[in-house]
Amino acid sequence: MRKSFPMSKNSKETDRLIKIVESFPKITITVLGDLVADEFIFGEISRVSREAPVLILKHRERTVLPGGGANAIQNLADLGANVLPVGVLGEDEPGRLLLKGFRAKHIPVSGVLKDKSYNTVTKTRILAGMSHTARQQVVRIDREPQAEPNRNLKRELVLAARQYARASDAILISDYGYGAATPAILNAIRERGRLDGMPVVLDSRYRLLQYSGATAATPNEPEVEEAMGIRIGQDWAQLSFAGQQIMSRMKLQSLIITRGRDGMAAFSGKHKPVDIPISGSDQVTDVTGAGDTVIATFTAALAAGANTEEAAHLANYAGGIVVMKRGTATVSQQELQTIEP
C-alpha cells in the first residue's frame, strides 16, 4: 500500500490541483447515461393515522433534481466543464423538468432523446420531520420503464454519442441498468477507432466486468465485491487484489474504488495502489448522488491532463464536499478550488 501524498495549502501538489480545476472550462465531455429524476417530497408530521399505525404527513415541499447520469451531467456543468449529454427521457413531467434544468445551466439537449413510450426513471423519496428539525427519509418509491429503450432509440444514442465524441476530450458512461448506457452501445460507439486515445470513464451499477474499451472506472466497494464474488471489509490486501484483477480483466489505465468513510483506493498501471483517506468529516449528511460527483470530477480532471492520483484526490475532495449537502447535490468549480489538506 502506498499512502496518498501529503498536501499543504502552499505545496506544489495543491497548486497543481488548483490549476487543473481552473482548466475545466476548456474541456468538453460527452456523457452517455441513464437519466434519472430524483424527486423529494417533504411533509411535517401531523399525527398518527386512525386507519393504520402510520404517520400522517402534511405536505410542505416538492423538488425534482437530476439523478443518475443526469446528476453527473449537472456536476460537470457546475464544475465549469462543457458537457454534452446523451440519453433518453419520457415525454412526461419528470422528463420535462430535467430538460428545463439542463437548459437553465445552458447544457445542450439535442442529444437527449424524447419518447412517448418511455417513462422517465423517477426515484421519489418521502421525507418527514417536525418544524425546525432534520428531515428523515421514511420510504423511497422507484418508477421505472417497463423495458429498455427500443432498437431505434439505441441506434440514435450511438449516432449522437459518436457525433459528440468528435468534439470531446473524454466520454463518461453512467450505467444504472436502464438500458441507455450498455456495453453493446459503447462497443458500437467505439467502432473504427472513434474513441482511440480518449479517456472513457465508466460507472456501472450491475455489470462492471461486461465492458471493454473503457480506460478508467469508478466503482464503489460493494460493487467490486459483487463483481468479484468476494468480501473485502477492512482487508487492504483483498482490496488491492480485487482492484488489480479488475484492472487486468478490463485492461484499464486507471481505477478508483470508493470506500465510504474509508476514503478511496486509486490504481494506475503497474504502480502500487494508493490509499486516499476521506476528505473532511466522516459524519456525512447525505450520500445521495455522491458517486456521480466522484466520476464527474475524476473524468474532468483526467480530461484536463491530471494523472490518476491527482484526479482521485480531486474526486475525493469533491465527494467530501457533496456528502455534507442534503439531497442530490453538486460541487462547484469555486468549491473545488478551495482544496486543502
Active site residues: 292
- Per DSSP, the three-state class of 14 is helix
Tracing cell 474504488 back to the chain, one arrives at 257
What are the beta bridge partners of residue 127? 42, 137
DSSP 130: -
Q: What type of residue is 8? A: S
For the chain, helix (H) and strand (E) counts, in that order, are: 10, 14
* CB count in 10 Å sphere of residue 280: 14
Q: Which helix (H) or strand (E) holds 46?
A: strand 35-48
Ordered alpha helix ranges (H), the chain: 12-22, 69-78, 93-104, 151-165, 183-190, 221-228, 236-250, 290-303, 308-322, 333-336
DSSP 213: S
* CB count in 10 Å sphere of residue 334: 11
Short-list 120, 142, 159, CA closest to 32:
159
What are the beta bridge partners of residue 254? 216, 268
Short-list 111, 103, 89, CA closest to 163:
111
Short-list 123, 71, 74, CA closest to 94:
123
